[in-house]
Amino acid sequence: MTEKGPTPLERFINGILPENPVYRQVLGMCPTLAVTNGMKAAMTMAAAVAFVLVCANILTSLIRNLLKPHLRILVFTLTIATFVTVADRIIAAYMYDMSKQLGPYIPLIIVNCIIICRCEVCASKQNVLTAATDALGQSLGFALALASIASVREILGSGSWFGIEVMPAGWPDWVVMVLPPGAFLTLGLLLGAANWIGELAARRRTTQGVA
């Protein structure tokens, strides 16, 4: 039943950088842009996505032999919606202010392409261990991407990081960075930078291979 492919460990590592969901696959753009104006919000979002992704992947993997092909997307979505409701209630119960700040973006995890994509590509074909490590790797990669964008935006936009002042006093806050345009600009430039680094690394590998 199990297809040949990368081992669980390889899948875990792949998710973090080589197949990073945001920079490589360009998936899950809504939360990436919307909640990255501060580190705290971004990390809460990353944790919520990780919880939903791991749970949904494990459950999908467990029921993969019962799925009918034409109904599978609906089943994935309903599974994800259930776990998102759980995550939403937990955040509303223990972190009320954060829940208010994130607002509609927690329920919008339901339509986050990363989770449906992992359910479809990996969990519906692999065993539980593979699906779980894959989900962990992908969510770590997503958290890293959110952290990089949120760091740039929070440090430039409000001169702080995790709410701690890091820039010298008198730093003129680049207000535009915490507003919507800043999100698009930061992600666009970071995407370019990620591509550039990836290209440099690939070029070095080929030259070493020739030498």
| Residues at the interface with another protein (CB under 8 A) | 26-27, 29-30, 33-34, 73-74, 77-78, 81-82, 84-85, 88-89, 104, 107-108, 110-113, 116, 176, 179-185, 187-189, 191-193, 195-196, 199
Least separation in angstroms between CB 33 and another protein = 4
State phi, psi for 126 to the nearest 5 degrees. Answer: -115, 170
Nearer to another protein, 9 or 196 (CB): 196
Nearer to another protein, 78 or 166 (CB): 78
Least separation in angstroms between CB 76 and another protein = 10
Least separation in angstroms between CB 89 and another protein = 7
Nearer to another protein, 5 or 180 (CB): 180
Nearer to another protein, 98 or 113 (CB): 113
Q: What is the 3-state secondary structure (H, E, C) of 19-46?
A: CCCCCCCCCCHHHHHHCCCCHHHHHHHH
Least separation in angstroms between CB 191 and another protein = 4
Nearer to another protein, 7 or 195 (CB): 195
Long-range contacts (CB closer than 8 Å, 24 or more residues apart) made by 67-70: 67/124
Least separation in angstroms between CB 62 and another protein = 19
Least separation in angstroms between CB 12 and another protein = 25
Nearer to another protein, 62 or 74 (CB): 74
